[in-house]
Structure 1
Amino acid sequence: MSSLQHEVDGQIAEPLATSLDRTGNLVTSIVPPGYERYLRILNPAEFGDGSIVSWSDMVGRNGLEPSPWMQWDELKAHLGTALSPDNAEPGMGDPHPSLVTALIRELRVSEDRHYFASWIGYAKSNSQATIEFSPSGRKMALYSGILVDERGTAVVPVTDAGRVPMYWWPKDLRWCVGQDLYARSLIVGCDLATAGRILAAPDLDSYLIRASDMVPSEDF
Structure 2
Amino acid sequence: MTETREWSYAGTELAWLKAGLQPSSEGPGRMVAELVPSGFAAYLRVFHPFEAMDGSGSTRSWHALAKDVGVRLHAELSHRFVSDEDMAAGRKPRWLTASGQPDNGTRQALARALARTTGDQPVFFAYDVAALLWGQDAPLVRRSSLASLEAVRAAVAADAGGMEGPEFWWPQDRSWVVTSDIDLVSTYVGCSAEATADILNDPEIEALLVTPDTQVDFSADQASHRFP
Distance 1:126 1:38, change over 3 A: same
1:7-49 CA deviation, whole Å, 9 max, x = no partner?
xx94311111111111352211100001000010110022322
1:52-98 CA deviation, whole Å, 9 max, x = no partner?
2111111123443211111111332135599x987331111122111
Higher relative contact order (CA 8 A, sep 6+): 1
Query: Following superposition of structure 1 onto structure 2, how do residues 66-105 of structure 1 map, counting pairs within 5 Å?
Result: 66-78=73-85, 87-105=94-112
RMSD across aligned C-alpha pairs, in angstroms?
3.0
1:118-141 CA deviation, whole Å, 9 max, x = no partner?
2344567554643xxxxxxxxxx3
2:101–2:187 contact (8 Å) kept in structure 1: no
Distance 1:214 1:45, change over 3 A: closer
Gap runs ≥5 in structure 2: 1-9, 221-228
Query: Following superposition of structure 1 onto structure 2, how do residues 17-56 of structure 1 map, counting pairs within 5 Å?
Result: 17-23=18-24, 25-47=30-52, 48-56=55-63
What is the distance in 2 between the residues matched to 1:121 and 1:155? 17
Give the total of aligned pairs: 197
Partner amino acid for 1:65? R
What is the distance in 2 between the residues matched to 1:111 and 1:51? 35
Comparing 14-23 and 73-82, the one that deviates more: 73-82
Gap runs ≥5 in structure 1: 1-8, 131-140
Partner amino acid for 1:117? A
What is the distance in 2 between the residues matched to 1:144 and 1:127? 18
Aligned to 1:214, what secondary structure does the other structure show?
Answer: coil
**By percentage of residues, which structure has more helix?**
2
Q: Name the counterpart of 1:12.
A: 13
Q: Name the counterpart of 1:201.
A: 202
TM-score normalized with structure 1 length? 0.76
TM-score normalized with structure 2 length? 0.74
Q: Name the counterpart of 1:138.
A: none
Q: Name the counterpart of 1:114.
A: 123
Q: Name the counterpart of 1:143.
A: 142
